[in-house]
């Protein structure tokens, strides 16, 4: 292959690296109204009165909206294909506020200072309710977070809102109780994961204006332009045809920008005033008033026989979705979907539990999407089981993990198409020095070093639901335009998709212009989430390129007055296989758009996959712990990845490194704390510590390629799977170092130190 598999630089790399004005804020109209939001100081309250009269008189204030001024149609901000499985439980503004930071009024003024001044002049009187803050006490709490009767679910997701249950879920194959009795050993443990912040560097922002035909144009830093258009149409009660969503460059997303946090507020201001508007969340708003990862409690019970074969996997979960149910049921189901198939020598498996509403900031999509939480709980318990069986944790995995060509209880007879996970484990052992260094080494009197490991799987796109389209146009000059609706969040997906098109068309990647994404221009794509872009949009691009190539050959043959079978196309020239006749692509392109009876060539394809082939990763951590303080230093992290064919090794490597470091943050540093009245306390980078350069030790990355028959050039996904192993692997290493099993994230020195004193779990 000429282009696929090569470490090509990103096509927008130089622009974004050198600070060119390519992001949402840079592109906003100079005279845009500045939109600010007055937010609730209370976790749960009803607005008894709201007085905006003084604020409205302030010079420069253009519009102030309260719950009285907005449509009453409930919607969901979850970036999912219609009909969304997330409940329609939101209004643009509501009389009831459900978390500290919930929106109370929208203020638009000529500048920020005026908007903030006006905000301070709005008088609100609240009737306070008893908030539901502890998610373990949400079910059956005296307060009901969503007592209104117009909440709507497109499917039965098990909502019992009078009990604060958004969704219930159960997967069970085999008889757990019977099979567990047959096991020689049973281990059980409960884990807690935190409501991590995405902490992308570009906070949430959108701008809007009316175009020359009066249509509403939204420029937004979003992963889901088409879903934004649909949500706006519903929330604002205007036809989707009156809305255009443009996605410029995005300053990071990680799933956060799969939920439409901000677009509705500028859009309604532009509709009400006719003027352009911009909203930019500051860091505190981004931390407190958007979405987080779903915090969960996961209890895992494993049963095994004395040979080390795992027979029963039983996971009981509780997930905290906060005040609104974005992605509540789907994130939760992914906990089971990405854990139960991993160990397939089982006779019974179960995943069951509830997602609950609380009066805290909403949770939503976040890289890993439930698999991360599940991997921490399951893999930690596998390590516990290995210890109880006195087995090497890598050996118990090699015995029990699903292999290529095998099935598992929850796959219902479907065979796993591709996996090199066993090789990933072997390679990882080599790179970390497992034989020499496992489990622990004493460095000096106070310091020990130890190793731990974990494995995980994810998916590639959402099987049977998310479907992407792609178009490739042969331009009049012989170059190509690739039109896609997916979102490059910085991952390099635009580049990778261009590589695929270039490979099929046998042209240099420089000959392709990539246009993404603009809902007026791009073909439909659900957006970039669920690790789908390389796999799902990639297949659409491959097939569109094949379609165009076929048309080029046909048109070339027609030009040469022979049949298609008699010519070949090498990316530059269409030539007769036998004979002298040929036509250069530029000439053909020109010919196709000049004169009468012509047709410009466009390749098209739409692709949705019936399967979601899992990428795999094996992660190995080495930590050093100071026994006097509990201080943990991560020395080394080894990640070996099976993402099928690596389309661009350079960009894939950075994806792995970035995901691992985000996982390290979750494992060791990112602590989420709420005050006793429900206010998020960790709302700046001073309190919420994401890893800096000194925190991460050395990260080593290797690939063990497999070939996924259903994927483009054999590729699977990579974006999410990479975040899942650090938490369980580091927890394992910490246990091997000092014998403390930390079961709630993050693994802080305090927990380790206190654990060493008391030898109890945290």
Partner 1 sequence: MQIEVIVNLKKIKMEVDANEFLADTLRKYGILSVRKGCDTTCCGLCTVWIDDKPTLSCTTLSFRANGRKITTIEGVHKEADEFAQILVAEGAEQCGFCSPGFIMTVLAMKNELTNPTEETIVHYLTGNLCRCTGYMGQLRAIKTYLGVQ
Binding site for partner 1 (CB under 8 A): 7, 9-10, 12-21, 23, 25-26, 113, 198-203, 249-254, 282-284, 489-492, 648, 650-651, 653-654, 657-662, 684-686, 690-694, 696, 698-699
Give the gyration radius of the chain's Cα atoms: 27
Minimum CB–partner distance for residue 719 and partner 1 (Å): 11
Smallest gap from Cβ 45 to partner 1, in A, equals 27
Give the torsion sign (CA, 384, 385, 391, 395).
negative
Secondary-structure percent of the chain, ordered helix, strand, coil, rounded to 5? 30, 25, 45
Q: Do 574 and 423 contact (CB within 8 A), yes or no?
A: no
* Bond into 95 cis (ω within 30): no
CB of 629 to partner 1, least distance (A): 21
End-to-end CA distance of the chain: 51
- Distance of alpha carbon 295 from alpha carbon 228, whole angstroms: 25
Nearest-angstrom CA–CA distance, 630 and 627: 5
| Residue 191 CB, nearest approach to partner 1 (Å) | 25
Closest approach of partner 1 to the CB of residue 295, in Å: 20
Q: What is the nearest approach in angstroms of partner 1 to the Cβ of residue 408?
A: 32
* Choice between 698 and 758, CB closer to partner 1: 698
Give buried/exposed letters for 652-676 (b at 16+ CB in 10 A, else e). bbbbbbbbbbbbbbbbbbbebebee
Instruction: For residue 451, give both structure tokens.
Output: 């190793």
Least Å distance between CB 684 and partner 1? 5
CB of 634 to partner 1, least distance (A): 12
> Given the complex with partner 1, which of 85 and 251 has the nearer CB atom?
251
Q: 């022979």: which residue's tokens? A: 562
Which residue number, 75 or 254, has a Cβ lying nearer to partner 1? Answer: 254
Kindly state the smallest distance separating residue 640's Cβ from partner 1, in Å.
Answer: 15
Q: Is beta strand 632-642 parallel, antiparallel or unpaired with respect to 698-703? A: parallel
Residue with tokens 């190539």: 549
| In the complex, least distance from residue 374 CB atom to partner 1, rounded to whole angstroms | 23
Closer Cβ to partner 1, 342 or 640, answer by number: 640
The token pair at 288 is 């407190």
Shortest distance, CB of residue 182 to partner 1, whole angstroms? 44
At residue 702, the 3 state secondary structure works out as strand
What does the alpha-carbon distance between residue 570 and residue 241 come to, in Å, rounded to a whole number? Answer: 41
Nearer to partner 1, 416 or 699 (CB): 699
Q: Closer CB to partner 1, residue 489 or residue 617?
A: 489
CB of 176 to partner 1, least distance (A): 39
Both tokens of 200, joined, read 């992308």
Residue ranges of E strands in 7-121: 33-39, 45-51, 61-65, 96-97, 103-109
Q: Which is nearer to partner 1, 19 or 140 (CB)?
A: 19
Distance CA 525, CA 486 (A): 6
Q: What are phi and psi of 138, to 5 degrees?
A: -70, -40
- Which burial class, exposed, middle or buried, applies to 439 when counting CB atoms under 10 A from its CB (0-12, 13-18, 19+)? middle
Toward partner 1, which CB reaches closer, 384 or 647? 647
DSSP state of 249: B
Q: Shortest distance, CB of residue 504 to partner 1, whole angstroms?
A: 23
Least separation in angstroms between residue 662's CB and partner 1 is 7
Q: Which two tokens stand for residue 26?
A: 């840079």
393/384 Cα distance (integer angstroms): 9
Residues 6+ apart with CB under 8 A from 307: none
Cα-based angle 27, 30, 32 (whole degrees, multiple of 5):
95
Q: Which structure tokens are listed for 620?
A: 């190995």
536 and 607 Cβ atoms separated by less than 8 Å: yes
Q: 257 vs 716, which CB is nearer to partner 1? A: 257
In the 8-state DSSP scheme, what is residue 457? Answer: E
Smaller CB separation from partner 1, 249 or 549: 249
Shortest Cβ distance from residue 28 to partner 1 (Å)? 11
Closer residue to partner 1, CB minimum distance, 572 or 657: 657
Question: What's the closest the beta carbon of residue 112 comes to partner 1, in angstroms?
Answer: 9
Alpha helices in 237-370 (DSSP H): 263-273, 283-288, 328-337
Whether the Cβ atoms of residue 370 and residue 318 lie closer than 8 Å to each other: no
Neighbours of 172 (CB within 10 A): 16
**What is the 8-class DSSP label of residue 21?**
S
CB of 481 to partner 1, least distance (A): 23
Q: Residue 175 CB: number of other CB atoms within 10 A?
A: 13
Cα separations (Å) of 471 from 276, 547, 548, 683? 31, 10, 9, 42
Bridge partners of residue 160, in order along the sequence: 165
Q: Which residues contact 142 (CB under 8 A, 6 or more apart)?
A: 130
Angle at CA of residue 223, ends 217 and 226, nearest 5°: 50
Q: What angle do CA 152, 155, 160 make, to 5 degrees?
A: 60
């Amino acid at each position: 292959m000429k282009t696929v598999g090569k470490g090509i630089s990103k096509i927008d790399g130089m622009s974004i690296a050198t600070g060119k004005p390519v992001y949402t804020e840079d592109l906003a109209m100079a005279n845009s109204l500045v939109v600010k939001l007055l937010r609730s100081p209370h976790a749960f309250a009803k607005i008894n009165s709201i007085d905006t009269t003084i604020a409205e008189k302030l010079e420069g204030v253009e519009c102030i909206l309260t719950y009285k001024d907005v449509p009453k149609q409930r919607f969901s901000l979850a970036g999912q294909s219609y009909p969304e499985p997330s409940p329609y439980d939101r209004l643009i503004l509501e009389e009831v506020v459900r978390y500290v930071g919930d929106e109370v009024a929208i203020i638009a003024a000529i500048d920020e200072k005026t908007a903030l001044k006006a905000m301070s002049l709005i008088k609100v009187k609240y009737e306070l309710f008893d908030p539901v803050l502890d998610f373990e006490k949400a079910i059956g709490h005296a307060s009901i977070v969503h007592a209104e009767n117009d909440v709507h679910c497109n499917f039965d997701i098990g909502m019992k809102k009078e009990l604060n249950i958004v969704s219930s879920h159960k997967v069970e194959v085999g008889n757990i109780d019977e099979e567990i009795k047959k096991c020689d050993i049973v281990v059980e443990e409960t884990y807690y994961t935190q409501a991590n912040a995405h902490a992308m560097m570009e906070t949430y922002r959108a701008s809007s204006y009316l175009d020359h035909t009066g249509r509403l144009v939204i420029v937004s830093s979003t992963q889901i332009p088409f879903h934004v258009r649909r949500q706006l149409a519903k929330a604002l009660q205007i036809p989707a045809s009156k809305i255009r969503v443009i996605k410029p460059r995005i300053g990071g997303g990680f799933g956060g920008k799969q939920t439409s946090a901000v677009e509705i507020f500028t859009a309604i201001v532009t509709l009400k005033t006719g003027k352009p508007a911009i909203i930019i969340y500051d860091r505190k708003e981004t931390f407190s008033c958007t979405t987080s990862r779903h915090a969960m409690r996961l209890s895992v019970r494993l049963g095994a026989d004395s040979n080390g074969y795992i027979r029963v996997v039983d996971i009981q979960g509780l997930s905290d979705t906060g005040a609104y149910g974005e992605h509540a049921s789907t994130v939760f189901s992914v906990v089971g979907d990405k854990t139960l198939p991993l160990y397939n020598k089982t006779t019974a498996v179960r995943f069951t539990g509830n997602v609950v509403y609380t009066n805290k900031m909403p949770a939503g999509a976040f890289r890993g999407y439930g698999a991360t939480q599940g991997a921490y709980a399951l893999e930690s318990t596998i390590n516990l089981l290995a210890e109880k069986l006195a087995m090497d944790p890598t050996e118990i995995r090699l015995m029990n993990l699903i292999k290529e060509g095998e099935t598992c209880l929850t796959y219902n007879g479907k065979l796993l198409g591709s996996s090199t996970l066993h090789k990933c484990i072997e390679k990882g052992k080599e790179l970390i020095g497992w034989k020499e260094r496992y489990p622990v080494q004493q460095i000096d009197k106070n310091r020990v070093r130890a190793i731990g490991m974990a494995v995980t799987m994810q998916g590639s796109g959402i099987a049977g639901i998310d479907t992407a389209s792609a178009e490739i146009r042969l331009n009049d000059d012989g170059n190509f335009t690739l039109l896609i609706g997916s979102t490059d969040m910085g991952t390099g997906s635009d580049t990778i998709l261009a590589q695929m098109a270039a490979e099929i068309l046998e042209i240099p990647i420089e000959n392709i212009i990539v246009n993404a994404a603009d809902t007026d221009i791009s073909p439909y794509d659900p957006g970039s989430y669920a690790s789908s872009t390389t796999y799902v949009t990639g297949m659409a691009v491959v097939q569109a390129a094949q379609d165009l190539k076929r048309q080029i050959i046909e048109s070339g043959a027609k030009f040469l007055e022979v049949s298609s079978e008699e010519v070949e196309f090498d990316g530059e020239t269409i030539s007769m296989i036998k004979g002298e006749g040929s036509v250069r692509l530029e000439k053909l392109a020109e010919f196709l758009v000049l004169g009468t009876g012509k047709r410009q060539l466009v390749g098209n394809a739409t692709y949705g996959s019936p399967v979601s082939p899992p990428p795999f990763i094996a992660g190995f951590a080495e930590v050093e712990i100071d026994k006097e303080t509990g201080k943990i230093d991560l020395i080394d992290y080894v990640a070996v990845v099976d993402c099928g064919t690596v389309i661009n090794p350079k960009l894939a490597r950075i994806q792995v490194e970035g995901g691992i470091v985000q996982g390290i943050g979750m494992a060791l540093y990112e602590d989420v704390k709420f005050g006793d009245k429900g206010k998020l306390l960790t709302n700046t980078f001073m309190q919420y510590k994401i890893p800096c350069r000194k925190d991460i030790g050395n990260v080593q990355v290797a690939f063990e390629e497999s070939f996924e028959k259903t994927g483009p050039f054999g590729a699977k996904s990579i974006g999410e799977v990479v975040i899942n192993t650090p938490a369980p692997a580091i927890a394992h290493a910490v246990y091997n170092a000092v014998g403390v099993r930390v079961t709630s994230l993050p693994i802080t020195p305090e927990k380790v130190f206190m654990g060493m004193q008391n030898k109890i779990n945290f």
